[in-house]
Each structure stands twice: as structure tokens, then as C-alpha cells.
Amino acid sequence: MNAEARIRRMTAVDVDAAVALAAALPAAPQWALAAYVAALDPAMRPMRVTLAAETVDGELAGFAVASFVPPEAELESIAVAAAYQRQGIARRLFAGLARELAAAGVTGILLEVRVSNAAALATYRALGFEQAGVRRNYYAEPDEDAVLMRRGIP
């Protein structure tokens, strides 16, 4: 079941499922397939940590992508399929990211989120992020401000 979803590195086999998972979530960053492929390429800069949550049935339940240039990182994307939300998967994905980022010498992580994305804002606050500013008209379609949030990585 979902609580047993395994957190592991994302690989090329996850890319199609990640595109489909995000497409079903209007609030999720909508990356093209090529963007996931690039994020998985260890030669690309900035470097990235990419994690997947896989159910016991082998289904992709969620994923998270962070880029980093020590000592700072940016949470670029995190998404959990609707059927698996509110079961602690984002919390576990973030804990996995934080572990890997800390090992790489990262001490802080930033993110931007639409002001209207109440679920994501609540998640980030629950994960210990604090508001660090507002970026006016950061988003298009629809035009919207971004809340900038930051958290230390101990």
C-alpha cells in the first residue's frame, strides 16, 4: 500500500510516468519530457537530486527534483499523484532530498510557489520552510505572484 511506497533515485524509466503524473495535477510544474531527461543527466549543470516514490505495485506515486550549487539548493518540482496525497509521501521525498543535499554540502534550500497553491504552501510550512519574500508577477497563465520560501538543511 501507499505507506510502503519506496523512495529511490529517479531513473529514465520514470520519465513518461512523471510527465503523466504532473499532467494530472494542474498545480504541478509541467515539464516537458526532455526537461526530466536533462535533470537525470549527471553531466548537466546545475547538478540535481531526483527522487521517486514507487508503490509496491511499481507505480510512480510521486517525485521530487532539486537543483543545487553548494551551499544553496532550489526545490524545482515536487508532485504526488492525487490517489497518494496526504500519506506523507512529499514529507518522505523531501527528507530524502535533504539527506542527499546535506551530503553534497548544501546548507539551505529555496523554492517558489504560487500564492494560490494552498496545499503546497501548507506542505512547505509543515516541512519547515519559512516565507523569505514575494516575487511579483513571477508566474504567467495565469499571472500570479510567487511566494519565495527558504529552509535550512542541517
Interface with ligand COA by CB under 6 A: which residues?
25, 27-29, 78-80, 85-91, 113, 117, 119-120, 122-123, 126
From the candidates 124, 130, 139, 141, which is the catalytic residue? 124
Q: How far is CA 3 from CA 53, 60, 79, 125, in A?
A: 10, 13, 16, 22
Residue 71 CB, shortest distance to ligand COA, in Å, is 22
Closer to ligand COA by Cβ: residue 47 or 114:
114
Q: Say whether 124 is catalytic.
A: yes
Q: Which one, 40 or 64, has the nearer CB to ligand COA? A: 64
2 vs 43, which CB is nearer to ligand COA? Answer: 2
Q: Which is nearer to ligand COA, 29 or 105 (CB)?
A: 29
Rounded Cα distance between 126 and 95, Å, is: 12
Question: What is the spatial order of strands in the sheet that 72-80 belongs to?
Answer: 6-9, 47-54, 60-69, 72-80, 108-114, 144-152, 130-139
Query: Rounded to an integer, what distance in angstroms lies between the CA atom of residue 122 and that of residue 77?
Result: 16
Q: Is 112 a catalytic residue?
A: yes
Q: What backbone torsions phi and psi does residue 96 show, to the nearest 5 degrees? A: -65, -45
Q: Shortest gap between Cβ of 86 and ligand COA (angstroms)?
A: 5
Q: Number of C-alpha atoms within 13 angstroms, CB side, residue 64?
A: 24
Q: Closest separation between CB of residue 113 and ligand COA, Å?
A: 4
Catalytic residues, which ones? 112, 124
